[in-house]
Structure 1
């Protein structure tokens, strides 16, 4: 099982941004990450400096969005949709994309549901509830 460290994730996104700007060949995963990086120009300054990115703290109480977590969640949602796991997420995401007329905005809505599911599981000590997650996305319709 792939289990990257915080540093690995930050280096990955910074390297993708560097390759993107240098117009280097990207792997399929890097291409997906590159697409989301393009949608988030507000993160470009952070991604441009690896050492600063590695040192920066995005504590919850700081009120700042963690760009690496945000981009990672985009990739996670892409993967969930591609394999329809949890079952029903693909149809719910497609319907939400059509409703909002934006895959990006739909992903942000889905991201809120994903974050809520993770938070609930952590708080309760129970496993992730994929059915509740899909239902939460459907309620956004």
Structure 2
């Protein structure tokens, strides 16, 4: 199982942004990340400075963590592509159609994903995929 460190994740997104701006060839995962980076120009300054990215602390809660946000976009993309947990693809497709905006749908799904992870951490349990899917379906 791939288990990147926080620095690995930050370097990945910074390098993807650098390659995107230089019109260099991207790996398939970088291409997915690049699409989400384009949707978030508010993160470009942070992504342009790898040294700042590696040292910035987002634990205060006042500022959105761009690396967590972009990672969640990639996680949701992966979940949809393999339909795991079962039903996420159909729920995400229906929500995208309802909102007529894939990005807005991802942000809504992201809230449900974050809640599932928070509940699992708080309760010391495994993430509840069924509750996650149900939360997304309630958005419909």
TM over 0.5: yes
C-alpha deviation, 1:116, in angstroms: 0.1
C-alpha deviation, 1:126, in angstroms: 1.1
Q: Which residue of 1 aligns with 2:47?
A: 47
| Deviations 1:11-39, CA, capped at 9 Å, x for gaps | 00000000000000000000000000000
Q: Which residue of 2 aligns with 1:73?
A: 72
1:2 aligns with 2:5: no
5+ residue gaps, structure 1: none
Give 4+ residue runs of structure 1 displaced > 6 Å after superposition: none
- Distance (whole Å) between structure 2 residues aligned to residue 49 and residue 91 of structure 1: 38
5+ residue gaps, structure 2: none
TM (norm. structure 2) is 0.99
1:96 aligns with 2:95: yes
- Distance (whole Å) between structure 2 residues aligned to residue 125 and residue 7 of structure 1: 26
Q: Aligned-residue CA RMSD in angstroms?
A: 0.5
